[in-house]
Structure 1
Amino acid sequence: MSGKPSILIVDDAASLRAALRTFFTNEGYPIIGELSHGKGVVESIGRLKPDVVCLDYNLPGSNGLDLLKQIVVTHPDTSVVMITGDTNPTLEADAAEAGIAGFIRKPFTPEQILREIRRVTHTRALLRRQGDTPVPAHEAARATAVVADDSAAMRLLLVSILSQAGIRVHEAVSDGRQAVAAVVRHKPDLVCLDMDMPVMNGLDALAQIKRSEPTSKVLMITGHMSRETIQAAGQRGASGYILKPFDPAKVTEAVGKLLGFQA
């Protein structure tokens, strides 16, 4: 039996469905269904119970964002990867706000879609592992935090990890502009700030956060960080960074060192 997540493919292009089926099957991912339209997607998820849905944004008679919102509400354990050829510059931000787990634009290579699915798979595994560990009861929070990441799954994971460490998360947001506003509202001890976000990227948000709340410590979170980016983040006031994919123990250790307690 495969330990990899099951996938439901939803796309109106038969050629793309076939390509995705081939990519995933060759990597050992079980394909449990294919749909060519948006009608009945939510019901099909309830019946087939896929771990991941590859959802085309432009489906006949359906709006991909509306479908995403329905799936997130009715099937919160299902991760949705949106696939689109739409050039709307705000689409990724809108999808992130709605709860997308992954996002990829057409045309894409097999390596790109498989990398995105692996990232989502890794995050699902961490969330499951984290969910098996009870959150300890603390008389008072050790510290407070704001989390900013455009991945809904990553936000959930970070909130869970920080809660395990006795840190109260005031707010979890999906873009840099929201992060700046949340920091101004809550004045947290810690900010977990993703580098690559829609609307406002992490470096720009970092600069604004340090101007408004210079005592808040900021951890940059990214899947890749060059020497130049590390230097730029440091110059803007970042206290450190964590590379994705990460595990809860490493995040907890980094946060504990940064805030001065044994997490």
Structure 2
Amino acid sequence: MRVLIVDDNASMRIMLATLLADRGHTVVGALAEGSGVMEAVRNLSPDIVCLDYQLPGRDGLDILNEINTARPEIDVLFMTASEEESIEQRAADAGAAGFLRKPFGQKQVIDEVQQVVSTRQQANAANQQSAVRQAPAPQTGGATPRKRPSAVIVDDNGSIRLLLKGLLTELGLNIVGQASNGEEAVKAAQNHQPAVLFLDVNMPGLSGLDALPRIREASPQTAVVMVTGSASRELVEKAAGLGARGYVVKPIRPAYLEAFVKKLFNQ
């Protein structure tokens, strides 16, 4: 994988570059500040960006949002020494594919990068095959193929939508619609009447929790699953009270998602 490292600490840049190169990755660049990250992304086309939070020149969360808007296929491994309680949730909601809190050990880096890589590869493989899977099957006179459950994905982050589309397609769901905000989610539910709708909690405008009752009214048979960076007890209870069937925590992990979908459809 092609990796871009962004951290204002020279020792951290060297350590990450050495560790990742030893694991077979290609380090295409290492930056000490945030102001030039997007130019480097455009010029170097990394697969992964190891991105520090507190950077001179530009805030890491701001950069994360722009990368996921402009290049949703790029994964961002978010790193920070900040003790802010909400930073991991905020990074997850902004689309971070992985998270490391400093100080961290080499094994933590290796494990987190491998998780990010394997998740994206799994999703990409399924996305590449989705056109073939969705094409009408030839008439052979045999048994009618089992109809796949329909699904709608709602998230304001393009990277998360792309990832979920691939992973859910691989799990046998038919993605019939996508939306990036609560109002679009209500319309998609009404138009598609999907078996399941994956609904981001934190979105600009109409939030997931605010959209949930309207979605349930528009499509009563749809199982609504919340997608969130923080599954706090308060949020889980409120969502359940509004009719949600469960939740998936960001960053999305394939094993958890597979277990959830199987349980949802009693497989």
Normalised by the length of structure 1, the TM-score is 0.69
Aligned residues: 228
- 2:39 maps to which residue? 43
- 2:240 maps to which residue? 210
The alpha carbon displacement at 1:131 in A equals 1.0
Distance change >3 Å, CA 142–CA 7, structure 1 → 2: closer
The alpha carbon displacement at 1:15 in A equals 0.6
2:214 paired with 1:185: yes
- In the alignment, the residues of structure 2 paired with residue 143 and residue 217 of structure 1 have an alpha-carbon distance, to the nearest angstrom, of 16
| 3-state DSSP of counterpart to 2:246 | strand
Contact 1:96/1:174 (<8 A) preserved: no
- In the alignment, the residues of structure 2 paired with residue 220 and residue 96 of structure 1 have an alpha-carbon distance, to the nearest angstrom, of 12
Distance change >3 Å, CA 206–CA 147, structure 1 → 2: farther
- In the alignment, the residues of structure 2 paired with residue 190 and residue 152 of structure 1 have an alpha-carbon distance, to the nearest angstrom, of 22
Contact 2:223/2:245 (<8 A) preserved: yes
Distance change >3 Å, CA 87–CA 174, structure 1 → 2: farther
Contact 2:46/2:74 (<8 A) preserved: yes
Contact 2:248/2:257 (<8 A) preserved: no
Contact 1:85/1:105 (<8 A) preserved: yes
Amino acid at match of 1:183: L
Of 210, 221, 229, which aligns to 1:197?
Answer: 229
Amino acid at match of 1:211: G
- In the alignment, the residues of structure 2 paired with residue 63 and residue 89 of structure 1 have an alpha-carbon distance, to the nearest angstrom, of 17
The alpha carbon displacement at 1:124 in A equals 0.9
- 1:90 maps to which residue? 86
The alpha carbon displacement at 1:95 in A equals 2.3
2:266 paired with 1:257: yes
Normalised by the length of structure 2, the TM-score is 0.68
- 1:165 maps to which residue? 173
2:102 paired with 1:106: yes
| 3-state DSSP of counterpart to 1:59 | coil
Cα shift readout 1:134-161 (whole Å, capped 9, x = no counterpart): 25279x995556778xx97555433445
- In the alignment, the residues of structure 1 paired with residue 257 and residue 223 of structure 2 have an alpha-carbon distance, to the nearest angstrom, of 16
Contact 2:153/2:175 (<8 A) preserved: no
Q: How does 1:55-134 map to 2 (within 5 A)?
A: 55-134=51-130
| 3-state DSSP of counterpart to 2:30 | strand
- Identical counterparts, % of pairs: 29
Cα shift readout 1:35-60 (whole Å, capped 9, x = no counterpart): 11123211111111110011111111
The alpha carbon displacement at 1:16 in A equals 0.7
The alpha carbon displacement at 1:212 in A equals 2.5
Cα shift readout 1:58-84 (whole Å, capped 9, x = no counterpart): 111221122222222222221111111
Stretches of structure 1 that go unaligned for 5 or more consecutive residues are 224-242, 259-263
